[in-house]
Amino acid sequence: MKLVTKSAMSSSTLSAVIEKLIRSLCLNDFPCGNGTWRNTKGSAERAEMESTDALLDLLSCPRSPWRHDVMWSPQALPLRQLAVLTPERLHAPFIYNYFTSLRIVDRDVTAIDGGLLKFSKLEELVLSANKISEVPTANLPGTLKILELRANRLSSLDSLTSGAPPPHLQYLGLSSNTLGSQNDVAHLTGRHWPQLVCLDLSDCGFQDQQALLNGLSTLPCLRTLLLEGNPFTLASSYPGLTVDSLPQLSCLDTSWISPEERHRFRGLAKMSDLAVDIASATVSVGRMTGIPDPRMTVDDKAPDFPVVSYRYFITYVFLRHQTPAHLKINTETKFDARSVTEGQRSNENCEKQTSKQDGGILNSEKSSCGDTCAVLRHTTSKLSWSESMDFGDTQTHTVSALGDLKKFLNRGLRLSLEEEKVLSWPAASEEVPLTKANQTGKEKKGRREKESPVKSDFTKSKDKNKKSVPELVQDAPIRRILGSVHIPLQSLVRGGQQVKVLCDFGVLHTDSEVEATQTHQKDLGRKTKEDKKEDKETKGRQHNAASSKDKEKRALEVQDSIASQPVIVELIVELKKWQTASEAHHFLLPQTSYGGLLSPGSVCPSVLPSS
């Protein structure tokens, strides 16, 4: 038996890969085929002869060196067994006609050539994870019922429908390809696929949901449909609109459509002026715990001024609100008053910030999304320290650029924890002395003596429950990023509706803690130098040692007083999905039959559900 192959055939064509796999079965070599190892009737027994059962065991025994890879076809192992039992039947036409299923996965196939037509009884062809860019239907056997083209390089369906597609095709897999144009939608109709029962379009680039549903509704036999991973599936109208638009559908995205679900979305497809391709993502930042108390490391002997205050807040970058100008969406979104104020202030000033780090994040997000992707930095309310700080920040982002939203969610969300430090000094009109960091001890002492009347008055007032407080002037705030975490959001693209996580920023250290640690290290260095010196006065040495121990003990107490627990922030990212057809009334376009505009919060009277 000898298979006919072309020596000049490219190894990347489909037929060349299949021929190579058939040759790897070794149908003419031991233990298959006719050879001296076969014990046939009428032949004299020899020592090298093996029984048929023994030869068959060598084909399937896990430890047998003659056990080959046969996962690429269910007929591969039976064909080898046939080569042991009746090797005389194996000739090229028989072998080609024997295969009904071929699974050529990740074999670097670049083209489907005419050599595939030799497999005249082929019903299943799986070509996942290859490099195929065109599928000429003229080279596909007419007996095909299953065609899987997942994760190839298809950017158009023109070649797949240019000729006559396999008339009996029941399953077509096109997922994970760069498809999604209006031209591709035109090729997914009942005119091209009259027998199609299952269609896999997941992880493609379809954005126009209504146009795609109009085309798919012409497929008379369609029962199973996979769409998750397309940009339009992020919209609030999915899957409700798809369920109501395709009444013959039984399974959507691996889930059976129940009668209750179909009833909930009944009438959704008949609503006119419906905002279909709009996504609404809500980001909620809740409680934060684990921030060290900055007051625990304040020295009791520190001067009264400047007064140092700390505030903490969360920042993240999300797609800019892109609601079309003609669309009025009536959504019930609860905002914390402080969050809205801070968020608006952040939105207004985000592009005016002078921080190079902030600007870098905005630029990187723009370049990764593309030229048309606009992003915005959102800042939560700024809270003073407490053991548990509740930001209560809820921000709803309405996005119409669904392709950019898919890219954004696949990359994930980066949450940053920032600290704002503000130094406050008495106003110029006040006579309270200011203690600057660059003043020496003598200057501070002299200034206190000269201005002792004012100082004493202020001290007295502070002792009397702070009845009079001097007016303070704040310096420009000093911001620093304490930490950042990356939150994966791919599950939202894959059909999930909510990501709820506890963001772990790790154990943080305040400025005071760092300064205390540095002071402790300096004291230890001084102690080492002092120990090396020869001091004749024993009393002086004991005094220095006691002083060093006191400083060391005080620094250790400062460090031990700071909790070593990590900083945890609650975060919820949720995609809004319509649960019923009545809920979609809030997303109707504001044009009414009277030619006017609906006011925010109103509903078109012509589409109100009947009582």
- What's the angle, vertex CA 377, arms to CA 376 and CA 380, rounded to 5? 135
Mean pLDDT of the chain: 77
Scored b (16 or more CB within 10 A) or e, 575-609 reads bbbbeebebbbbbbbbebeeeeebeeeeebeebee
Contact 237, 578 (CB under 8 A): yes
For 256-266, give one letter per residue: b (16+ CB within 10 A) or e: ebeeebeebbe
* Higher-confidence position of 595 and 149: 149
Helix (H, G, I), strand (E, B) or coil at 307: strand
* Predicted pLDDT of residue 427: 83
Amino acid making up residue 82: L
Of 116 and 359, the structure prediction assigns the larger pLDDT to 116
Please determine, for residue 458, whether its predicted confidence score (pLDDT) is greater than 80. Answer: no
> Is the per-residue pLDDT at 22 higher than 70?
yes
Instruction: Give dist(CA 214, CA 182) in Å, integer.
Output: 12
Tokens 């627990």 found at: 565
- Per-residue pLDDT at 528: 53
Q: What is the pLDDT of residues 473-532, one digit of tens each?
A: 888 999 999 999 999 999 999 999 999 999 999 987 655 555 555 555 555 556 555 555
The pLDDT of residue 196 is above 70: yes
pLDDT tens digits along 35-52? 667 665 555 555 456 667
pLDDT value of residue 331: 38
For residue 249, the model assigns a pLDDT of 96
Listed in sequence order, the residues at least 6 apart from 489 whose beta carbon sits closer than 8 Å to its beta carbon are: 409, 410, 412, 413, 499, 573
3-state secondary structure 12-70: CEHHHHHHHHHHCCCCCCCCCCCCCCECCCCCCCCCCCECHHHHHHHHHCCCCCCCCCC
Measured CA to CA, the distance from residue 471 to residue 473 in angstroms comes to 7
Supply the pLDDT for residue 494.
93
Helix ranges (H only) for 237-336 are 240-245, 259-264
Q: Which of 81-85, 294-298, 485-489, 543-547 has the lowest mean pLDDT?
A: 543-547
Lowest average pLDDT, out of 109-118, 324-333, 592-601, goes to 592-601
Lowest mean pLDDT, pick from 239-253, 384-398, 418-432, 570-584: 418-432
Report pLDDT for 67: 74
Regarding predicted confidence, which is higher, 338 or 275?
Answer: 275
Q: Do you find a cis peptide bond into 306, omega within 30 degrees of 0? A: yes
Average pLDDT over residues 105-114: 95
Give the up-direction half-sphere exposure of residue 405: CA atoms within 13 A in the CB hemisphere: 27
Is residue 565's pLDDT more than 60? yes
Indicate whether 227 pLDDT > 60.
Answer: yes
Element containing residue 184 per DSSP (H, E): helix 182-186
- Among 10-14, 67-71, 229-233, 442-446, whose mean pLDDT is lowest? 442-446
Q: Residues 6 or more apart from 566 whose CB is under 8 A from it? A: 290, 504, 505, 506, 507
pTM metric for this prediction: 0.74
Judged by average pLDDT, the poorest of 130-139, 158-167, 415-424, 543-552 is 543-552
Tell how far CA 203 is from the center of its chain: 13
What dihedral do alpha carbons 409, 410, 411, 413 form, nearest 10°? 30
Kindly write down the DSSP assignment for every residue of 341-366, as one continuous string: HHHHHHHHHGGG---HHHHHHHHHHH
Q: Which residue's structure tokens are 């020496």?
A: 440
What is residue 107's predicted lDDT score, i.e. its pLDDT?
94
The model's pLDDT over 255-306, given as tens digits with 9 standing for 90+, comes to: 999 999 999 999 999 987 788 889 999 999 999 999 988 877 666 677 888 8
Residue 576: pLDDT above 50? yes
Q: Is 409 helix (H, G, I), strand (E, B) or coil?
A: helix
Name the one residue in this structure whose structure tokens are 């670097």: 108
Indicate the residue type of 139.
N
Helix or strand or coil: residue 201?
coil
Q: What is the pLDDT of residues 339-383, one digit of tens each?
A: 333 444 444 443 333 333 343 334 444 444 544 567 889 999 999
Is residue 113 scored above 60 in pLDDT? yes
Q: Which residue has the tokens 């008495």?
A: 426
The DSSP result for 513-549, as a single string, is HHHHHHHHHHHHHHHHHHHHS--S-HHHHHHHHHHHH
Tokens of 105: 């996965």
- Average of per-residue pLDDT across 238-250: 96
